[in-house]
Structure 1
Amino acid sequence: MASTAGFILTRHWRDTRQGTEIEFWVATDDGPRKVRLTEQVSVAFAEAELRDVIEAQLARDAAISLRGLPLKTFGGAPVVGLYASQYRQLTALERTLRDRGVKLYEADVRPPERYLMERFITAGVRIEGGNEQGQVITDCKLKPEPAYRPTLKLVSLDIETSAYEDLYSIALEGCGQRHVYMLGPAPAPAPELDFQLEYCDTPRQLIERLNAWFQTHDPDAIIGWSVVQFDLRVLQKNADKYKVPLLLGREGKPVDWRTHQAREGYVFASIPGRIAIDGIEALRAASWTFPSFSLENVAQTMLGEGKDIGDAYDKMAEIERRFRDDKPGLAYYNLRDCELVTRIFDKARLMAFMLERAHVTGLQADHMGGSIAAFSHHYLPRMHREGYVAPNTGDVPFSPSPGGFVMDSKPGLYDSVVVLDYKSLYPSIIRTFQVDPVGMIEGLAGDAETAIPGFRGAQFSREHHCLPAITTQLWQGRDAAKREKNEPLSQALKLLMNSFCGVLGSPDCRFYDPRLVSSVTMRGHEMMRLTRELVEGEGYDVIYGDTDSIFIWLKRSYPNEEAVAIGDGLARKINAWWQQRLRDELGLDSCLEIEFDTHFQRFFMPTIRGTDMGSKKRYAGLTLNGKGEEEVIYRGLEVARSDWTPLAQQFQQGLFTRIFKSEPYEQYVRDYVRRTACGELDELLVYRKRLRQRLDEYQVNVPPQVRAARIADEVNRSLKRPLRYQNGGWISYVMTVNGPEPLEALRSKIDYEHYLGKQLQPIADSILLPLHSSFARLTTRQADLF
């Protein structure tokens, strides 16, 4: 029997007269293969007592049959299976029965997902048997092949357009090619270039050449920057305008577009046989953060280089100039974007992460988000083997559940603060206390004396459950990935594990139940309180705690090695205490593990602005990094937030550095105020904020960034330039004596008093007041001079 390992790129289904057909495009060592599985049966479930009602409805449709099954609902009712040769028949029946008050279960699970999850397949597959003709394999068997990792052919795609999205050029880098298609005549003489530049007479020809390039070079994946929301969308817009198909899929198939139900203007692009991965969304999925996800900013941050055109207005004017007068220059700029994207993907190992993520979640590699879908992919088949069918979304009414536990903090400046951190706290609670949807149903139906107690009335079975085993498998996989230094896989496993609690607390999840999520978060609260008691029993002070981390003041200054040893010793004692307590009181093996995280040589916890109460989720500390160098860590403070000006951020950094190193800070504050008021620091006064709605949606509360954006677009309108801010985006502005004004249309004098009172003073006082000083005390006499 022929056998081939592969990686599932895309999945599709369609109903035919013979039944539902599932199609997978798979990357293999021998090139892409299309796996076609015919005559697939779709299934849903209903309570057995409703069989007669359902059969009466089915009398006119023999294509759906019923069969008794050894399964039951979460309410304990026996069920029957409804088997349909066409999936759309099943969904149509579900709608009809719903209108009559009859509920079907799992009718929303699409055929490809049902096929894969019930066989425990995520992304890696082994194709066995079947009939092979060219690239197409029909009626084979698929089995999981979790160890297979493909080598994909990538292309980085970028386009350049007019301000009105008229297509000028298309650049492609990948599959051994560096190619640009340019609209218009070639210049004479043509310059020598280190890439291929091809001129096209019409926009229609641009699309046709792009289609031909894809069929010739056949990439597995398309990468880019906002590649779906801009590049592919605009390509489709131009293709429609010029009545030429955009055929970027394998076998010359078109792009299939869907709109997001909740996000206006957001689209999904399904490309048969190819995945499309946007660099911005991939970075976010991999937990990268930047003040701005513009290609220029990310490239400068990660690569130390960027593009060769300035701000948005300069960029548009320069693109128009190059398109008119210097087409090779525009081609170079277009291709440069492709190259930067490729290098960012390489630097961040983004493609490796996205593939590992697909292996871990069971979702298509370019499916962003999807925590609930990933949970269902793992949970449903195991739940079926425990004898249950899944509830429907909305079966349990929403009730708020507590989040992570955050202790009240003790503000002030400290020497030697040790941070201990519970390793994957919520997954370890799930493993230890057997928190699980099926386990709760079984636990509530069983003997309360032997069940494991949860919170809000929950109790869990010791024998029947699914989620603890899933979590343990992922946990062990992550430990192995860390040993093998496979950081993308380790990160993907960590993110999936840590999503489980949030999924159980989401009303959009079919397994939502407030008792489940509360049995995780409230257990975390209990653990943090008991951990605090243990630490303070050892003679130390707990000055703060946040979800899974506890901050311990050692009460005097210690050299780094001694402080680390104390932290390690505390962690061992706490872990041993949990092992003993859980074994004695509940007969459970503890999977809870606290470990040393950080030693802050100096640590500062600020007050809540305008009060003497300690803040939460905001602190700064001086520590030694992995290279043995001093480093200041900021959490939640203005220096780490993009909505404060560089003026405030640099001021805060300078002030903390002096305080942590016990250097005089008074003159620094005075000099910074003087330089600000004298205009020496004007380049630091720029606010950069996001417009999260359309401009016309701001009616009652109109924040400064909106006022600035409206001024900017009024100027744009008067200059007959495209309006930039009507649908949101980012705006840069400064505060003037006449209010906020956009950087591109600055006309008034700067309001320095605003920056002194609203930017510098709040930051200074949050640090200085606990030190028995203040901004006013240091600067009042000086301010009188201005």
Structure 2
Amino acid sequence: MIGDFYILDFSYDVEEGKPVIYIWAIDKDNNRVLILEKNFRPYFYALLEDDNEKIIDEIRKLNKSESPITKVDVLEKKYYGNPVKALRIETVIPAYVRTYREAVGKISGIKEVLEADIRFYMRYSIDSGLRPFFWFQAEVEEIKDNRFRVSKVYNLTKVIKIYEDNPPELRILSFDIEVYNKYGFPDPKRDPVIIIGVWSKDGGKQFVNETGDDLKTIREFSKFILDYDPDIILGYNSNGFDWPYLIERVRNRNVKLDIGRKTGSEPSQGTYGHYSIVGRLNVDLIGFVGSIEEVKVKSLDNIADYLGVMPKNKRVNLEWYQIPEYWNDDKKRQILLQYNMDDAKSTYLLKDAFLPFGEQAAMISGLPLDQLSMASVGYRVEWLLMREAYHFNELIPNRAEREYEGYKGGLVISPKQGIHEDISVLDFSSMYPSIMIKYNIGPDTLVKGDCDDCWVAPEVGHKFRKAPEGFYKKILQELIKERRDIKDKLSKTDNEYEKRRLDERQKALKIMTNAFYGYMGWLGARWYSREGAEAVTAWGREIISSAAKIAESEGFEVIYGDTDSIFVKGDKNKVNELAKEISDKFSLDIKVEKQYKRIFFTENKKRYAGLTFDNKIDIVGFEAVRGDWCDLAKDLQRQVIERILLSSVDDAVRLARETIMKLRRKEFRIEDLIIWKSLDKSIDEYEVEAPHVSAAKKAMKAGYAIFKGGKIGYVVVKGAGKISDRAEPYFMVKDLSRIDVDYYVDKQLVPAVMRILESFGIKESTLKTGGFDIMNFFKK
């Protein structure tokens, strides 16, 4: 029969001594199905130093009966763009690729062993062209196999075509667990799970440990998953806490957390730290929040509040240390249950913010969504490159240990300090990818030595051949063309669903394209090239410098420049003409990105704030958008910025003085002075006792639970010694008179606002004492 299937994920197993690829999918009738590919075999390459028939014989002698070498073929391939001869060595069991890799690498005449570290099911995905969230049509044969929790199981005979179409409706479930623990970091050997909350389109449900036996609670949760049969399970830091905790909790009772679509399977930790659930996509949304720079403490409640899916004033807000207290008190337990339900619901609602982008990024990179959510942008780019390498007949380089090599970055034109009116920002669109395309930059086009027809990078002198087109250039051109086509389609459609899908695709393409430069300079990259990265920034510096000179020659004043943009003051009616002149000169797209009614710069680079013509305020580089200051300092700095942009410097100084005086008069809330820090490691892993670590230890000593990956809030109290000695968990400080007001004035408020006000000649003493103005303040 011929069927059409929507791909969710891949996995594999060895059955009767042979590997079987599992393609987990959904058919056109919305049935969850499994397609088995039984004919694909693992292989790797050996790069030959010369043509030596004896080498093939030597390789065949390595044969192991458990997984024999079934084929050794001599192929014409390319390696870094150069033609090479390579042996394609095929075996039976994927695990034996590693065994053969080591042995083959020792044979005389073998220059290098390649592509032996690619996961077997991903190797199949690359070679077959099948990718998550695409449809494929195939000739299949239905079989009976009760080992799998799906509607139908098929053997794959032949793939007919791969195509895009509207996806089926996916079943999505979110979950969140609460653990009872009063003795420091939760220990799954000791501390029970008390609540598991789940949320789906049907609403919420909870599994509560009423009897003291959390194994019963976890089993109820597992049964619910099997009955609901979700395609995607969402969590927030679930890879870091929930899954490992649940797995260890049942393992201590000799039980498996059997929730996959293959009977007897349990979540297992895989690549990038994610937990794989067979046949389902386990997506930890915390992997997507790194791009939200505005939120520094990326807790679930903060992210949900920032994105508007569940504002803090419409949910129960508890701190981790309150869980035992609320669980033990019958009158408060319902509040804890609602807190858990709000977390599960928040996680579910965040799907609309992150999954559309994630799906498109998975389609581009080929990485399954659960892996993609935890993989860095560099890894996402690399999987795209690996897929393209297969089509270009390029061998994939191995990973290598490399020493850090620094190089000069983008040009920053020092800002003209002070307030400026009517400023236009000219921004080069995708400058670095455009440079890579224009000058054919990549590890395969780099020429070391003489070259008659090369691009030569300014300052650094690295040479790149003009022809043929390099690996990076070809792929970047494809990505840019695809994005242009997508944006064209986007402008022509009225369908809201299609608009969202296309917009997320073009965003994913943009992020992927712009990440190529960073990937090339990443020490962990397979296609690493320090010379390439260094050349890109060298050309970038030349272009920005020249663009600034053109602007000045046309009567504009350049106020600031940074990497791929310049800030100019001049006739706003002529700024588009300036952009066209610069664009024509360098054959690069440049546009007027923003226009500011008012903007101010300090003497420091990458630090400014501006008021746009639609009255939005942009803040770049100040503590107001950083996380290591208390709310009072952050709020004051933001208000000072607003006063300068909307009113005057004098008004901003007056506000700062008033705030400091209120603090000295103890007109504050403890909550405004809390400094929040994340605990990225277990407490005993910290070598230096920073204030937040000291505060965490004090909380543990007092019997409060401390979670790795969580956050700790502390305040600084009066006393002798270092700040670390005087950092107290905020919930243990009830008396306002204990607060070290001088610390908050001298180390928080004043430094936060002086980052701005010192540029206007204001001194610290003016803020602290205030002179006659402060007296006028008291007369009001």
Give the TM-score normalised by the residue count of structure 1: 0.84
SS at the partner of 2:594? strand
Give how far 1:38 is off.
Answer: 0.7
2:671 is aligned with 1:679: no
SS in 2 for 1:233: helix
Equivalent runs, 1:622-771 vs 2, <5 Å? 622-624=611-613, 628=614, 630-663=615-648, 664-665=650-651, 666-683=653-670, 684-699=672-687, 701-714=688-701, 716=702, 721-724=703-706, 727=708, 729-738=710-719, 739-746=726-733, 749-771=738-760
1:113–1:377: 8 Å Cα contact kept in structure 2? no
The answer as to 2:123 corresponding to 1:114 is yes
1:12 CA displacement:
1.3
SS in 1 for 2:412: coil
Shift in alpha-carbon separation, 1:329–1:767, aligned structure 2, 3 A: closer
Counterpart residue number, 1:390: 396
Q: Does 1:136 align with 2:153?
A: yes
Match of 1:558 in 2: none
SS at match of 1:87: coil
Distance in 2 (alpha carbons) for counterparts of 1:224 and 1:383:
34
Name the structure 2 match of 1:25. Answer: 24
**Match for residue 345 of structure 1?**
351
- Counterparts of 1:547 and 1:113 in 2: how far apart (Å)? 37
In structure 2, the partner of 1:453 is 456
Letter in 1 for 2:242: D
Q: 2-side partners of 1:742 and 1:221: how far apart?
A: 38
Question: In 2 relative to 1, CA 509–757 (structure 1 residues): closer, same or farther, beyond 3 Å?
Answer: same
- Equivalent position SS for 2:262: helix
CA separation in 1, counterparts of 2:766 and 2:481?
57
Instruction: Tell me the residue number matched to 2:171.
Output: 153
Correspondence 1:43 to 2:43: yes
Q: Look up the equivalent residue of 1:56 and give its one-letter code.
A: E
Distance in 1 (CA, whole Å) between partners of 2:465 and 2:18 is 41
Structure with bigger RCO (C-alpha 8 Å, 6+ apart): 2
- Structure 2 distance, partners of 1:150, 1:460, is 47
Structure-2 residue corresponding to 1:578: 586
TM-score of the superposed pair, with normalisation by structure 2 = 0.85
Separation of aligned partners in 1, 2:217 and 2:754: 60
Q: Give the Cα separation in 1 of the matches to 2:393 and 2:262.
A: 42
Q: Which string of whole-angstrom CA distances, capped at 9 and with x for unpartnered residues, describes residues 81-115 of structure 1?
A: 21223322222111234466853111112222222
Listed as ranges, the gaps of 5+ residues in structure 1 are 186-200, 262-266, 555-561, 580-591, 607-613
Structure 1 window deviating more from structure 2 (371-380 vs 64-73): it is: 371-380
The answer to whether the 8 Å contact 2:599/2:610 transfers is: yes
8 Å CA contact 2:247–2:267 kept in 1: the answer is no
Alignment of structure 1 residues 332-731 onto 2, 5 Å: 332-346=338-352, 348=353, 350-367=354-371, 368-394=374-400, 399-440=405-446, 448-454=451-457, 456-483=461-488, 484=490, 485=499, 486-554=502-570, 563=572, 565-579=573-587, 592-606=588-602, 614-624=603-613, 628=614, 630-663=615-648, 664-665=650-651, 666-683=653-670, 684-699=672-687, 701-714=688-701, 716=702, 721-724=703-706, 727=708, 729-731=710-712
Deviation at 1:396, TM superposition (A): 7.4
Would the aligned equivalents of 1:20 and 1:38 in 2 still touch at CA under 8 Å? yes
Q: Deviations over 1:106-156 (max 9, x none)?
A: 111222222222344432131310212352121233443244534211112
User: Aligned to 1:171, what secondary structure does the other structure show?
Assistant: strand
Tell me if structure 2 keeps the 8 A contact 1:352–1:488: yes
State the secondary structure of the residue aligned to 1:522. helix
Kindly indicate whether the alpha-carbon contact (under 8 Å) linking 2:411 and 2:563 is maintained by their aligned counterparts in 1: yes
Q: CA offset at residue 460 of structure 1?
A: 2.8
TM-fit CA distance, 1:686: 2.1
Secondary structure of the equivalent of 2:274?
strand
Cα drift, residue 184 of structure 1: 2.8
For 1:750 and 1:170, the matched residues in 2 are separated by 38
User: Partners of 1:400 and 1:760 in 2: how far apart?
Assistant: 36
Can you list the C-alpha shifts for 1:474-522, whole angstroms capped at 9, x where unaligned?
2233334445243322222222112211211122121112122223222
Q: Residue type of the partner of 2:209? A: L
Q: Does 1:84 align with 2:91?
A: yes
CA distances 1:256-304 after superposition (whole Å, capped 9, x unpaired): 422779xxxxx431111101112322333x6464232222223333232
Correspondence 1:46-445 to 2 at 5 A: 46-48=46-48, 49=50, 52-53=54-55, 55-61=57-63, 62-74=68-80, 77-98=84-105, 102=110, 103-123=112-132, 124-133=134-143, 135-142=152-159, 143-163=161-181, 164=186, 165-174=191-200, 176=202, 178-184=204-210, 202-258=213-269, 267-284=273-290, 287=292, 289-301=294-306, 302=308, 303-305=310-312, 306-322=314-330, 331-346=337-352, 348=353, 350-367=354-371, 368-394=374-400, 399-440=405-446
Separation in structure 2 between the aligned mates of residue 84 and residue 617 of structure 1, nearest angstrom = 55
Match for 1:176: what amino acid? D
Instruction: Provide Cα deviations, 1:514-551, integer angstroms capped at 9, x if missing partner.
Output: 12222322222222122122112222222222221212
How much has 1:202 moved relative to structure 2?
A: 4.2
Counterpart contact for 1:622–1:660, Cα < 8 Å: yes
SS at match of 2:350: helix
Is the alpha carbon distance of 1:450 and 1:736 closer, same or farther for their aligned partners in structure 2, counting shifts above 3 Å? same
Shift of 1:331: 4.8
Instruction: Report the residue type matching 1:776 in the other structure.
Output: S
- Count the aligned residue pairs: 719
Structure 2: gaps (5+ residues): 144-150, 491-498, 720-725
Say if 1:156 and 1:338, in contact at 8 Å, map to a contact too.
yes
Tell me the CA shift for residue 25 of structure 1: 0.6
Give the residue type in structure 2 aligned to 1:759: Q
Give the CA deviation at 1:351: 1.9
Check 1:540–1:359 CA distance in 2 against 1; reply closer, same or farther (3 A cut): same
CA distance in 2, matches of 1:467, 1:63: 34
Flag the 1:648–1:525 CA change in 2: closer, same or farther, 3 A.
same
Counterpart of 1:450, as a letter, is D
CA distance in 2, matches of 1:734, 1:396: 42
Q: Percent identity?
A: 24
- Give the residue type in structure 1 aligned to 2:728: E
Structure 2: how far apart are the matches of 1:376 and 1:674?
A: 55
Kindly state the Cα deviation for residue 53 of structure 1 after the two structures are TM-superposed.
4.3
Distance 1:692 1:184 in 2: 32
Once the two structures are overlaid, the 10-residue window that deviates more, 536-545 or 297-306, is 297-306
Q: Which amino acid aligns with 2:136?
A: R
